Structure 1
């Protein structure tokens, strides 16, 4: 005997119906009962909450035959559910149910939702189907969370790829910029040759800025965090935007007077606003109005916009355009690096990816909304700041150092081109040097003569043992020689790790003669 048979025997027969009705009414799943012809007999409250249709509307007003209705609005689902009327158990998992807007009975049906559906027949003693029961579990929130997690993982993977590209590209630029600065230093200013060398330096700087965008996407760039007042930053940035985008466009700034301060890198925050405004401009090729709106918002626990968003106070910064809008399948990809819908030669596909990387590195969130033919809105949420007005999070302060000091430098760099350019730059600056391609070679030289070198110039990422392995080994030998770590991926993690050691500085590749010399001297003369 099944437990339910025992249940019905243990309770007086006149009470069983009331108990079962109560169970169905309180069930968290949407339940619909149909007769053998498909007419709706009953629904529970969860079904009304899901669809927006009440029992009176379905049964009395519409006199709905669900079989006929489903054939009109969702033929695929109708064909599956028809099997239940033939006596089969039907299960539909991860099923998206949506009714075309022009025939939808409610907004909820037009919007659609994800379901796990179970449909089973209730038969009489002769095996004939008397009723069909539909039980629908709303899994829309679960599917949305899965989509967010999938997008997050995708962006993390793309970020890792971007960071790796940036690291390798910065190593190449280190050679270009290094030798261009050597050429510029050796040539007489004003000559065509000197101008050519300076042009190479300028182009290398622009390439370095591009790789910095990639590091921002990967969230591997190092921000300089201060307490930022958006009511001061936004008007200044908007003036710059207005000068840049041309006379066809008008920017309207709507800003609350009491905006929360935010803990942010001011330059990166300006970059976010500029990139979003440029994106809005490109969405309106014939010109038009874009709105930049900033206000305070607060979210209580369980009521945030995104499942991964903590409750609390935020500044909401929105940029709104009235352009062509973005199709839903494209909207899902707008933050991907190098993804662009613009014609060839217009845009790199990095603008929104950089916005995403910067916002994420500031513990913020960015949401894209768009409607084709109406326009788009990109909204950034930045947490309320915790720093005081004068506080700042930054790396170690520079010290005043003489410009002319000859140091004995040990260069540890696995890339032969970068190793050669470093040695040539040191020679030009008047320093003495010795070079090796690996950590063990450096340790052998240090063991042989612990007082031989005034400074170590060390690459961070090397094949077998990295620069931090050398730092720890040197400090374990009780050597206080200053160390400059050169890296093509100047990430917050690298800086933080370096700051845990005495007399260790980080130098981001690429760099020219003056930056190299100043960093080494600051490291040498620091306590």
Structure 2
């Protein structure tokens, strides 16, 4: 009791510590998840913004490119003199073009010597040559399509904002170089657009050529910048040339940013969009700050409540101890009452059986007893022993400790074969109705235990109807059984994928109150009068069902009767064995067969030894497994078979059998037991088993069969 009190206080102390540690741990985990989520959201925002910037730049370049192509078609094949003669008209056309496109500063037509023939700024154009500009000399040697130049400052007398160029080559009819058509593009047009779509704090945009020359940037550049292709930016782009995401310190200002980039289709230009990592962290801090606003007061309140509970628990220890003592006393009283009810029922049944045995023995001792009466008394003793064994089996069935002998049988046929016996058992006032399926419903279970379970359910129904009414037996295949508890020790997993067979026994009796329905399978619970039963009938059904891998349920309504449903795992029809004739063979003589009998109960050992000796067996009696194993190791050829009890002090009979097999001793082993937890859990693992109580006739047949099979195997091996 004091230990429990200390444990409760220690638990509260741990809870107080956990009320601080757990929120902190959860906050750390949540922070990590939130930071990852914030980064993912930022990446998705960057990619969406990047797609917008990419589509904008693509349309601008395509528009300018189409304009250059149209101008090239206008002047294609015209000599320079003709172009000069049409300069006023061409000037107006170029001016309308630049006025309609806000991204353009100016448009130009140059001859082969770099002289401006026409431009949109002045008419006629000044006598200047532009052969040193990249947008001109890039086209001299070969046709390269549309060329995008680096940012430039206007050459006097022209003034205004900086620009970068888009230009195309002018070719003669024979393909020779005759000049250039060029458009001056305003970087500030892109930067203004970026300012509109990049309203979030820390937003960043850039547009640059594939060789690292920046064309536009937001926030705007204070100086020209060319990115190093071998630097971090160039390396990332080289690894993923079409598009990607990277976290770098931008060379122009050294600020760390999360940047996405994408190449503009058909142009050697990249568009970038990004956010400063400090802005991403600021979002994360804001989110976690909201959690802290609520989390810190809640954690503090929980800690204070636990501290109060700790102090309160200390004050209530004396009261709790007294209450537990009172509850324990009540439980003890209930256990004694239940145990008294069980022992009373068992004692009642055993006393009836012992009375039959004692009276039969007394009558057998009378002189001048006729053979017919002597046989009747012997039969009465045998029947009483069989009923006592059945009662013991019921006790073991509830404990789920009996050793089952599963066999495959058809449930419908087995119930049909019991019809006459059930009719006699239930009485003429009980109407029996059976609903059996046409197709086989096969199960793998202990047939004897199944019949016992069926009889127990039928008897329980008869008692509920006070001997008058209707009992319905129904068999059907179902796909699943009700939810079962965790598998018990010793139960078999047979469910497979074949479903279950449901055996329902319904009656028209008085029904079971809902308050008692949950206790109907308890061995200590019965509605019968004291001494009129053990209360083990439904308990045997429960234990048999659970150990067979199935379940049993009960439903009832007061005044309407009850239905008990037994679920057993179904097996496929191909597992049904061939029908065999029943074994009615008498005892088999020993003919000098040598048996090593291992039994620690001297009375039972003498009974078995005397019975087998009368049948002609040669018996060597040993009272423990260790000595028996020593005898076998010394001279195993002396024995034809080993017959051993399972439950013995020290080395068990099952241990002996396994040791004989592992050592390679060529002597067959037959085991016997009335109860063994090891057998109920592990089974006989390949050894023959004779259940107690057994007859000498049954024992002789099993020993003879084991020895004969061993000799056949040895002969085949030779």
Give the TM interval when normalised to the shorter protein. 0.5 to 0.7
Q: Secondary structure at the match of 1:251?
A: strand
Partner of 2:454: 273
Which of 528, 552, 576 is 1:342 aligned to? 528
Partner of 1:434: 620
1:444 is the counterpart of 2:626:
no
Partner of 1:213: 394
Partner of 1:519: 702
Partner of 1:354: 540
Which of 285, 298, 301 is 2:479 aligned to? 298
Aligned partners of 1:240 and 1:459: how far apart in 2?
A: 35
Partner of 2:503: 317
- 1:123-162 matches, within 5 Å, as none
Give, in angstroms, the shift of residue 520 of structure 1: 1.6
Would you say the 8 A contact 2:657–2:669 is kept in 1? yes
Give, in angstroms, the shift of residue 315 of structure 1: 3.1
Give the gaps of 5 or more residues in structure 1: 4-87, 90-153
Q: Give a deviation string over 1:109-133, Cα, whole Å, max 9, x none.
A: xxxxxxxxxxxxxxxxxxxxxxxxx
Q: Label 1:393 to 1:486 Cα distance change in 2 as closer, same or farther (>3 A).
A: farther
Aligned partners of 1:384 and 1:238: how far apart in 2?
A: 22
1:419 is the counterpart of 2:600:
no
Q: Give a deviation string over 1:143-187, Cα, whole Å, max 9, x none.
A: xxxxxxxxxxx9xxx9xx99xx9xxx9xxx9xx9xxx9xx99xx9
Aligned partners of 1:242 and 1:192: how far apart in 2?
A: 29
Q: Give a deviation string over 1:460-502, Cα, whole Å, max 9, x none.
A: 11111111322233345542122222212278946975444xx
- 1:27-426 matches, within 5 Å, as 190=371, 196-219=377-400, 220-230=402-412, 232-258=413-439, 260-285=441-466, 287-299=468-480, 305-306=482-483, 308=485, 313-337=499-523, 339-388=525-574, 390-391=576-577, 403-426=589-612
Aligned partners of 1:441 and 1:479: how far apart in 2?
A: 15
Would you say the 8 A contact 2:590–2:704 is kept in 1? no
CA RMSD of aligned residues (A): 4.4
Would you say the 8 A contact 1:263–1:387 is kept in 2? no
Give, in angstroms, the shift of residue 393 of structure 1: 12
Count of residue pairs brought into register by the alignment: 348
Aligned partners of 1:386 and 1:291: how far apart in 2?
A: 26
Aligned partners of 1:290 and 1:494: how far apart in 2?
A: 33
Q: Secondary structure at the match of 1:205?
A: helix
Give, in angstroms, the shift of residue 346 of structure 1: 3.4
Q: Give a deviation string over 1:200-259, Cα, whole Å, max 9, x none.
A: 3332222122223333333423234214152x3444434432333223222233345456
Would you say the 8 A contact 1:227–1:387 is kept in 2? no
Aligned partners of 1:263 and 1:401: how far apart in 2?
A: 29
Aligned partners of 1:386 and 1:197: how far apart in 2?
A: 44
Would you say the 8 A contact 1:259–1:296 is kept in 2? no
Scaled by the length of structure 2, the TM-score of the pair is 0.42
Q: Label 1:479 to 1:258 Cα distance change in 2 as closer, same or farther (>3 A).
A: closer
Aligned partners of 1:356 and 1:333: how far apart in 2?
A: 12
Would you say the 8 A contact 1:227–1:385 is kept in 2? no
Aligned partners of 1:222 and 1:429: how far apart in 2?
A: 29
1:507 is the counterpart of 2:659:
no
Q: Give a deviation string over 1:256-279, Cα, whole Å, max 9, x none.
A: 545644344444434333322221
Q: Which has the larger radius of gyration?
A: 2
Q: Secondary structure at the match of 2:461?
A: helix
Aligned partners of 1:317 and 1:411: how far apart in 2?
A: 43
Q: Secondary structure at the match of 1:462?
A: coil
Q: Label 1:261 to 1:526 Cα distance change in 2 as closer, same or farther (>3 A).
A: closer
Aligned partners of 1:254 and 1:442: how far apart in 2?
A: 54
Aligned partners of 1:482 and 1:188: how far apart in 2?
A: 44
Give, in angstroms, the shift of residue 352 of structure 1: 1.1
Aligned partners of 1:401 and 1:252: how far apart in 2?
A: 41
Q: Give a deviation string over 1:437-467, Cα, whole Å, max 9, x none.
A: 2222223333443433332221111111111
Aligned partners of 1:292 and 1:381: how far apart in 2?
A: 14
Give the gaps of 5 or more residues in structure 2: 1-23, 28-300, 303-334, 487-494, 711-718
Q: Judge which range, 329-338 or 307-316, deviates more.
A: 307-316
Would you say the 8 A contact 1:259–1:295 is kept in 2? no
Q: Secondary structure at the match of 1:316?
A: strand
Q: Give a deviation string over 1:347-369, Cα, whole Å, max 9, x none.
A: 33222122222322332221111
Would you say the 8 A contact 2:482–2:551 is kept in 1? no
Q: Label 1:454 to 1:249 Cα distance change in 2 as closer, same or farther (>3 A).
A: closer
Would you say the 8 A contact 1:488–1:510 is kept in 2? yes
Give, in angstroms, the shift of residue 195 of structure 1: 5.4
Q: Judge which range, 275-284 or 476-485, deviates more.
A: 476-485
Would you say the 8 A contact 2:646–2:676 is kept in 1? no
Q: Label 1:441 to 1:327 Cα distance change in 2 as closer, same or farther (>3 A).
A: same
Q: Label 1:225 to 1:505 Cα distance change in 2 as closer, same or farther (>3 A).
A: closer
Q: Label 1:324 to 1:393 Cα distance change in 2 as closer, same or farther (>3 A).
A: same
Give, in angstroms, the shift of residue 312 of structure 1: 6.6
